[in-house]
A and B are shown apart, each in its own frame.
Chain A
Amino acid sequence: MLDLEGYGYGIIVEGAGVTLFVALSSLFIAVLLGMTAALAKLSNSPTAQAIAGIYTTVIRGVPDLVLMLLIFFGGQIFINNLPDNLLELLLYIGEKTDQGDALKISMAPYLDWGYIDVNPMIAGILTIGFIFGAYMGETFRGAILAVDRGMLEAGTAYGMSKIQITRRILIPQMMRHALPGFGNNWLVLMKATALVSIIGLSDMVRRAGLAAGATREPFKYYLVVALVFLFFTTLSIWFLKWAERRYSVGVRRMS
């Protein structure tokens, strides 16, 4: 094994924990957003379709690093300017409805939350979740369209409600079609978590960078980080293969 000198493997293990935590949390957000975006795109409401369309197009047209920097630095300013902007809005509403500044004064205590420092962990998780929600949305949309219409109709014929059909038929059936795309998105997402090191979160890459700077042995430390990522990738691929088999049970195939 490589000798990591005074730092030992502890920094890598702790950093890998942060990386995994960020990856899984943002995956959770991405799946929620992706499902919402997919259902919105397939809904009958033109507004929902337009919002989901803009979301998936804009996010996929801009690099993740740029979005992350925008949300990290911009989010800081946005949150701290929010009370002032809201109060101004309340004053405006008050004047329009002839209440003067009564509304503004009554709400002011609730909006005084002082200076907030945006946590790089939260910014990282939200950004990655937000970005991959767009990719997941496209995957889920395709998967929903691939489900046999007849199955959903059969659900209606049995008198199931829309929610029951979604939960009992649509989601289990679309899993099989969504899994390959979902797996790809997960692999890309996991690698994208390396970007949180740029906004100052102590993930594996950043810790390795600090150790590399102190020991002047960057090659060694970054190589270990690369190998850990490779390990996660391999593990994910195995798991995805297993899941694909599991969800394809009962599908007829040419032998």
Chain B
Amino acid sequence: MDFSVIINELPLYFEGLLLTAQLVPFSLILGFLAAIPVAIMRLSRNPLVNYPAFAFTYFFRGTPLLVQLFLLYAGVGQLDGYSELTKEFDFLKGAYFFALLAFFLNTTAYTAEIFRGAMAETPFGEIEAAKACGMSKWMILRRITIPSALRRALPAYSNEVIFMLHGSALASTITLVDLTGAARIVQSRYYAPFEAFITAGVFYFVLTFLLVWAFRLVEKHFNKHLNRREETIIEVVT
């Protein structure tokens, strides 16, 4: 290992880190917000509501993120009328927008499926109690189903967040310089694959563990009521 290469190129890695640290939270926040309505649609018994949501999640969960990225970046840009649109809206141009779009759609599909599972598992008694209190359908959704489902979905959702972080490495395939993109530049400049990719790997590793740790705190906070109480010791008198 030649550490001078790594030290020389650290600014490049930090630039890449900055991009990764933008793409991942942006797509996660947007995906989280969009996933809740999609999950509610998936629970509907009306096929006109359910099927579009099902088709969306099935497509985005059943195909590789790389193909989705290429389909959007290379494919949509080629469609008629798109270049007209970019003249009006400048931000639609370029790889950044498409990476964000692909990550957003992908994480929405996965998150929606996680939330759907958690909502479907809401204990029947909770909903019954809410009905008995005279709450309307939307009120039950807002006050009972969603809050309790989100809490139960936390462990699965933390996995999805880590998958998104790892998936964001694909942004480097459409010319963006994220952490992986930085490593690929270093590799092509010095032909030093170990230095280049292990450095990026260490960055990702640290990010992953920060996320795992943060989610553990969040879970501890929101799922306090689910923890087992400390067992009372019963002394047996003989």
Contacts and interface: CB of A to CB of B under 8 A. Distances in A.
Nearest to A197: B66
A216 B79 CA distance: 11
A218 B78 contact: yes
A46 B107 CA distance: 38
A113 to B, nearest CB: 20
A64 interface: yes
B66 A218 contact: no
A73 B58 contact: no
Interface size class of A (residues with CB under 8 A): 35 or more
Given A63-B204, A191-B63, A218-B74, A70 B197 contact: yes
Given A69-B193, A73-B197, A230 B75 contact: no
B64 interface: yes
Interface size class of B (residues with CB under 8 A): 35 or more
Interface stretch (A104-112, A141-149, A173-181, A221-229): A221-229
A226 B59 contact: yes
A219 interface: yes
A77 B169 contact: no
Contacts of A222: 67, 70-71, 74-75
B79 to A, nearest CB: 6
B158 interface: no
A219 B180 contact: no
Given A66-B183, A229-B63, A229-B64, 17 more contacts: A61-B209, A62-B204, A62-B205, A63-B166, A66-B180, A66-B197, A69-B184, A69-B193, A70-B198, A73-B193, A74-B194, A77-B193, A195-B66, A198-B66, A205-B67, A230-B62, A233-B62
26 contacts: A61-B204, A62-B201, A63-B167, A65-B170, A65-B172, A65-B180, A66-B180, A66-B183, A69-B180, A69-B183, A69-B187, A69-B197, A70-B193, A77-B193, A191-B63, A195-B64, A197-B66, A205-B66, A216-B78, A218-B74, A218-B75, A219-B75, A219-B76, A222-B70, A226-B68, A230-B63
**Smallest CB-CB A-B distances: 8 pairs:** A219-B75, A73-B193, A218-B74, A194-B64, A70-B197, A63-B166, A63-B169, A233-B62
Interface of A: 58, 60-67, 69-70, 73-74, 76-77, 191-195, 197-198, 205, 209, 212, 216-220, 222-223, 225-226, 229-230, 233-234
